[in-house]
Amino acid sequence: MPSRLNKLVVDELKERFTGVDTCLLIDFTGLSGRKAAALRSQLRAECGDGASFSIIKAALARRAFGEIGGMAPLAAEGEELLAGPTGIAYGADDPVLMARTVADWSKKEDVLRFKGGLLSGRLLAAEAAVALAKIPPKNVLMAQVVGTIAAPLTGLLAVAQGPIRKLLGLAEALAKKNAEAETG
């Protein structure tokens, strides 16, 4: 029979993570309370007020996640992801930005390691979480797409302008020749 305190913690986890289907699980070994607070602040500053980082107890998290639709894959198949000291980053609208923020912060502090997570309700391996953090920012990706679309159009424009330039050159030469013939 679970203790009353454990039941309260499970209920609180269910309330906090209901509706969450994207999160990053992080090994926080060596993370002090002050650094955890700094990471929370950084996540909120870069990813919005809804983003947060929490320390979870694996057994209670598994129980709570098993009862939440979007988090169920973690309870069912994420045994190794929840093993050991586990922190969870969640609540950001942009999972790439959240992963990049955690990765950048981790480079400075050298204490965090991605364990995996969930992306739109699907399990994410540690390598995939690291790769997610390496995706360029949204505005860079949009610029790359526009550049990719614009390159062939620029070439087409140059090809289309070629005959027009030749025609203008011929017209100028003819006008010059006629002007010389009239003066001469």
Number of H helices, E strands in the chain: 8, 5
Instruction: For residue range 100-124, list pLDDT tens digits in order.
Output: 999 988 888 778 889 988 888 888 8
Section 133-158 average pLDDT: 80
pLDDT of residue 184: 63
Q: Where is pLDDT greater, at 151 or 46?
A: 46
Section 40-65 average pLDDT: 88
pLDDT of residue 1: 44
CATH number of this structure's domain 4-135: 3.30.70.1730
- The CB-side HSE value for 163 (13 A sphere, CA atoms) comes to 3
pLDDT of residue 44: 92
Q: What is the largest CA-CA distance in the chain?
A: 114
pLDDT of residue 2: 64
| Contact by Cβ (8 Å): 88, 24 | yes
DSSP string, 128-181: HHHHHHTSPPHHHHHHHHHHHHHHHHHHHHHHHHHHHHHHHHHHHHHHHHHHHH
Please state the pTM of the whole predicted model: 0.71
Mean pLDDT of the chain: 84
| Contact by Cβ (8 Å): 113, 106 | yes
> Counting Cβ atoms within 10 Å, is residue 175 exposed (0-12), middle (13-18) or buried (19+)?
exposed
Section 157-184 average pLDDT: 80
Q: Where are the beta strands (DSSP E) in the chain?
A: 23-27, 52-56, 86-90, 113-119, 122-125
